[in-house]
Amino acid sequence: MRINFESEKELIIIDKEKNKIELLIYKKEHMKYAIAQTSGKQFLLKPGEWYDVDFIKNGNLGDYIYLNKILFFRKENKIQIGKPFLINSQIPAKIIQQVKGTKITVLKTKPKKKYTRTRGHRQSYTRVQIDT
C-alpha cells in the first residue's frame, strides 16, 4: 500500500494488489497518532501538537518538512505497522519556531592541580507542528 499527500487536506491511498484507488479527505480527526523517527529519536505524534526536534539549519519559519520514517500509524479504525518503516508514507510538519533548550553547566576539574574550567551549553532545536 502506498500513501501520497497531494495537498494538506487530501490523502490518496493506492493499493496495487487490488488495483484500487481511494481518495479520502484527510482531516485532524482521521489520524489518532503516529510514531515517527527523526535524528535517531522516536516521537509519538498527535495532530495539532508541536514537538522540538534537532536543529534544522536551512529551515525557515513556515516551511514544511516531511517525516518519512514512520514506524506506526493509527487512524480511527485502522492500524499500520512498519517493518521497520512504512513504505512511501510521510507526515507533513510545519516549522513554527527555532528555539534553544535549557542551559547546561559543564564543570571540568583536575584534582590536586588547582584547575577548574566552567562552560555553559544551550542546545538549539526546531519546533515543528503536526498539521495532519
String of DSSP letters for the chain = -EEEESSSSEEEEEETTTTEEEEEE--TTTEEEEEEEETTEEEEE-TT-EEEEE--TTPPTT-EEEE--EEEEEESS-EEE-SSS-TT--EEEEEEEEEE---EEEEEEETTTTEEEEEEE--EEEEEEE--
pLDDT at 71: 93
**If you compute the radius of gyration of the chain from its CA atoms, what whole number of angstroms results?**
20
Question: CA 5 to CA 31: how far, in whole Å?
Answer: 14
Question: CA 72 to CA 40: how far, in whole Å?
Answer: 16
Residue type, position 79, single letter: I
pLDDT tens digit sequence for 45-57: 999 999 999 999 9
How many domains are contained in the chain? 1
Question: CA 3 to CA 101: how far, in whole Å?
Answer: 35
pLDDT at 21: 43
pLDDT at 131: 83
Question: CA 10 to CA 7: how far, in whole Å?
Answer: 5
Residue 48 sits in which domain range?
A: 2-130
Positions in the chain whose pLDDT score sits under 70: 1-29, 132
